[in-house]
A and B are shown apart, each in its own frame.
Chain A
Amino acid sequence: MVHLAPLFVAIPLGAAFLSLLVKAVAPRVAGILSVAAAAALLFLAVVALLGVDSGATAAGGWGAVSEGGVVFLGGIVVVLDGLSRLFLITVAVVASAVVVYGVKYMAPYTGKPLYHSLLWLMIAGMNGVVISGDLFNLYVFLEIGGIASYSLVAFGTKGEEVEASFKYLVLGCVASAAILIAIALTYSATGALNMADVAAAVAAGKVPDAALFFVSALFLAGFGLKAAMMPFHAWLPDAHPSAPAPISAMLSGLLIKTLGIYAIVRIFFSVLGVGWHAQVLLLAFGSISMVGGVFLALGQDDFKRLLAYHSISQMGFVFVALGVNTTLGLVAGLFHAVNHALFKSALFLSSGSLERITGTRKLSEMGGLVRRAPMTSLATIGAALSISGIPPFNGFWSKLLIIVALVSGGHHAVAGIAGLTALMTLMSFIKVQRKALFGALPERLAGVREVSAVMFVPVLALALLCLATGILWPLGLSDLLDRAAAAAGSVGDYMGLVTGGR
């Protein structure tokens, strides 16, 4: 199975390339191609999930070269372990729903093959980040995912969209520069780019404390910006709502997690180690994100903008959970990241459906839609209950775990903030439901009809998954999460995995 890992990048890249290729001859084929590629990716991710073997493989078969007693690593290492497995399945599930939804949603747009191509480039970048065992390779995939998402935000090419994309691009470049500087300094301090080698050098104490501190700060700022941690969040509320709904779902559901959370977990927990400074920063910025995001969301009337602010707030939960720096905290953070991927992508997709049928994103102009669009409304309610933390939906369990982890780690004040934020999230979504789904139907919307099944089935599936993971998580998911946390949390295991594969 480990040798199949490069396929997680190869399939999306192939789909991106073929979508462009068919653009000239048969533009309609691009949609079919996309769905086929999504099915293949989902199948592969499930196979990877069922396989328990972890390991590393050198892409392209360039293994190690030994000369005069010195071993050189020739190729680019691809690593498949519990943590990457968890993110690969999340990416595959959400991406599949988004691709199916997008086939119908994108129908009024021109240039659909370009959309499919960019979407698959983005998925290739995300999967590449997740399986890469090499710091520079991680950076390259980060940029692939990044460039694809900058262009997708501007896909409508109207003024607002281009403005949001430009802002996103400028801040994304700052983040990338910080990350690349950090990688360069890491290389200069350790003489390695392979994450396992870097981890070994750090564990052996070869890196001076000051250098480690500086590099950690740069990594945290860079990935924090990619994950929209609160002082660096300014781009997100513009960029995420401006994109077409399927892309908003990808950006909010997956991109900030694979490029932000995954990279932070991998680099801090598996490679550099979480120092007390990183812990303090994660807890502080996480708390600010939680409260700030939810306060800004409360005043929003634009549905998609409201969801975008909630993304910042929910990412704050993940940051504080990681900041506890215990296995429980790591499990809770990863669980919440996965749950957020499911319910936030469902919410963004249903916001797209509601916008499509009502012609507006303003909550104050909607109302009574539960009778007109029952399926979409059902999915919205499910996902909203999940993000608000109502049992037995998955959001409740992960928020509970995060608060338990915070209390057991002795961070009572942060736990209080998390509880308060959870309450305010609930308030905000009660407002959404009251304004958009229940209440009186405005006269203007008297003739609206439910969207087609191609659009509501993926959203319903995601909402059902929110419920299923909430009810079934003690059965299989907790094991998966434990393995992911164990894989991430143990520097020694990661080194053994990679160096053993040489």
Chain B
Amino acid sequence: MTMWALLIAFLAVGFYGLLAKRNVIKKILGLTILDHAVNLLLIMIGYRHGGCAPIRLPGEDHAGFVARSVDPIPQALVLTSIVIGLGITMLMVALALRIRQCYRTLDGTEVNRLKG
């Protein structure tokens, strides 16, 4: 239960950081927290108390494997999701660098040439 409460707190912090923070770097930190919160959600969905790593031993039948291990699918999804998150974060950092060069500031409220 504590984990779920923490997870929701992480999600909230991530969304808040990404949307409400003015500083571009803080937005990036918010995105990273949000990414990891979603990954944590996926892991928690597949987690089972006392389950072991989902490695199927030779000769083990399917029912035994399912009873013994945690769900491997969310773990596979998280791997993909981490890679996507890395790509997005890198792109965002590159854009932040360029914003710094063009606007001489990292304050999001001063990055406002587009209007209408």
Query: A residues bordering B, Cβ < 8 Å?
Result: 67-68, 70, 136, 140, 143, 147, 150-151, 154, 157-160, 162-166, 169-170, 173-174, 177, 180-181, 184-185, 187-188, 193, 237-238, 242, 299-300, 302, 305
Contact = CB atoms under 8 A, between A and B. Distances in A.
Contacts of B92: 166, 169
Contacts of B27: 170
A402 to B, nearest CB: 28
- 8 closest Cβ contacts across the A-B interface? A159-B102, A188-B45, A162-B98, A238-B114, A143-B84, A166-B95, A184-B42, A163-B111
Nearest to B66: A70
Contacts of A68: 61-63
Nearest to A192: B73
Contacts of B96: 166
Contacts of B116: 237, 299-300, 302, 305
Contacts of B113: 159-160, 163
B34 interface: yes
B91 A147 contact: yes
Nearest to A171: B19
Contacts of A67: 62
Nearest to A68: B62
Contacts of B41: 181, 184
B103 A159 contact: yes
Interface string B1-18: 000000000010011001
A169 B102 contact: no
A162 B95 CA distance: 6
A423 to B, nearest CB: 23
A140 B84 contact: yes
Nearest to B108: A166
Given A170-B19, A184-B42, A300-B116, 13 more contacts: A140-B80, A143-B84, A147-B91, A154-B95, A154-B98, A162-B102, A166-B111, A169-B92, A177-B38, A188-B45, A238-B114, A242-B114, A299-B116
A165 B77 contact: no
A449 B60 CA distance: 76
A230 B67 CA distance: 47
Contact of A163 (B15, B63, B114): B114
Summarize A's interface: helix, strand, loop or mixed: helix
Contacts, number: 92
A136 B99 contact: no
Among A68, A150, A173, the one with the most B-chain Cβ atoms within 10 Å of its Cβ is A173
A181 B38 contact: yes
Summarize B's interface: helix, strand, loop or mixed: helix
Interface in B64-101: 73-74, 77, 80-81, 84, 87-88, 91-92, 95-96, 98-99
Contacts of A187: 45, 73-74
Interface string B40-71: 01100100000000000000011100000000
A147 B95 CA distance: 12
Nearest to A296: B116
Contacts of A185: 45
A273 to B, nearest CB: 23
B65 to A, nearest CB: 10
A173 B29 CA distance: 13
B15 A174 contact: yes
B88 A173 contact: yes
B3 to A, nearest CB: 14
24 contacts: A67-B62, A70-B62, A151-B91, A157-B98, A162-B99, A162-B102, A163-B99, A163-B102, A163-B114, A166-B111, A169-B88, A169-B95, A173-B31, A173-B34, A173-B88, A174-B18, A180-B38, A180-B81, A181-B11, A181-B41, A184-B38, A184-B74, A242-B114, A302-B116
B74 A173 contact: no
Contacts of A147: 84, 87-88, 91
Contacts of A237: 116
Given A136-B77, A159-B113, A174-B19, A165 B95 contact: yes
Contacts of B77: 136, 184
Among A68, A164, A181, the one with the most B-chain Cβ atoms within 10 Å of its Cβ is A181
Among A147, A184, A193, the one with the most B-chain Cβ atoms within 10 Å of its Cβ is A184
Among A160, A169, A180, A299, the one with the most B-chain Cβ atoms within 10 Å of its Cβ is A180
Nearest to B43: A184
A177 B11 CA distance: 10
B63 A173 contact: no
A166 B99 contact: yes
Nearest to A241: B114
Among A68, A151, A157, A177, the one with the most B-chain Cβ atoms within 10 Å of its Cβ is A177
Contacts of B87: 143, 147
Contacts of A163: 99, 102-103, 111-114
A255 to B, nearest CB: 16
A67 B114 CA distance: 59
Nearest to A309: B116
A163 B74 CA distance: 35
A265 to B, nearest CB: 24
Given A70-B62, A163-B113, A174-B15, A169 B38 contact: no
Contacts of B18: 170, 173-174
Contact of B114 (A70, A150, A164, A184): A164
